[in-house]
Amino acid sequence: MIESLRGFIKPGSEEEALIQKIDFSKLPKHVAVIMDGNGRWAKMRNLPRVEGHKAGLKAVKEIVETCPRMGIKYLTLYAFSKENWKRPQKEVKTLWGLLANYLKKESSVLVKNEFRLNVIGQMEQIPERTKKELVRVMDMTRNYDKFIINLALNYSGRSEIVDAVKKILDTDRIKGNDLNEELFSKYIYTSGIPDPDLLIRTSGELRISNFLLWQIAYSEIWVTPVYWPDFNRRNMIEAILEYQSRERRFGDIKAG
């Protein structure tokens, strides 16, 4: 076990047995997560949907603590899609309020650990109170690079591609023949960040829900039936082990 996990993983636990199987020289650099199942988690317990979202924030905290300890550099969390505006207005308002409160409470933890917060998505529509908290925390953490957390907010994979095209069209220096995949990648929201090696989806749904359409071309995908509020560090360790069991060929006949 690597030193950063000592005291975090309980000796003799199932988690410790699993962590011993991990090859720490072959970790994914970037993990992306579609956090799904908050509403169904609450419904199973005869609770209001908001209680599922509150419980989901606890799972976020645990995974944010786990990933850097394991040596993962980038974590992208699908927190609010452009399609989520279709939900009841009261639920949407509550979601943005929960995020603002969470940022206010946890920003000191990010600073203490030198974690950086980024937002990917169209921030213009985000409610003002939440937007102010996001800008505040991003400003506070902009120079940190130990661990980078990307929150996908008011996000759409298709909109991201369209926005990239708009930026390119507005740039007189780029001609059609000059455009290639490497250059295009400089105009997407995650410019400068490696593509996800591993995409995790909770709740068992077998779709990518308009998430990182450009970036996940060769990501390994792991789906778990666990609802997001119940997702914990043991599940993350299981995902890493599954990732390491796969042969990544990137279209070749041999592993890359």
Q: Active site residue: 84, 101, 113, 232, which one?
A: 84
Q: Which of 154, 162, 217, 210 is nearest to 188 (CA)?
A: 162
Q: Active site residue: 36, 150, 154, 235, which one?
A: 36
Cα-flanking dihedrals φ and ψ of residue 237, to 5°? -65, -40
Q: Which of 160, 161, 195 is nearest to 74 (CA)?
A: 195
Q: Which of 32, 16, 8 is nearest to 243 (CA)?
A: 32
Whether 150 is a known active-site residue: answer no
Report the greatest alpha carbon distance in the chain: 61
Which ranges of 23-156 would DSSP assign to H, the alpha helix? 38-44, 49-70, 89-113, 128-141
Which ranges of 76-232 would DSSP assign to H, the alpha helix? 89-113, 128-141, 157-169, 181-184
Burial (CB count <10 Å: 0-12, 13-18, 19+), residue 188: buried
**CA dihedral sign, ordered 182, 183, 186, 190:** negative
Whether 46 is a known active-site residue: answer no
Q: How far apart are CA 253 and CA 256, in angstroms?
A: 9
Q: How far apart are CA 149 and CA 116, in angstroms?
A: 6
Q: How far apart are CA 75 and CA 44, in angstroms?
A: 29
Give SS3 for 238. helix
- Cite the active site residues: 36, 84
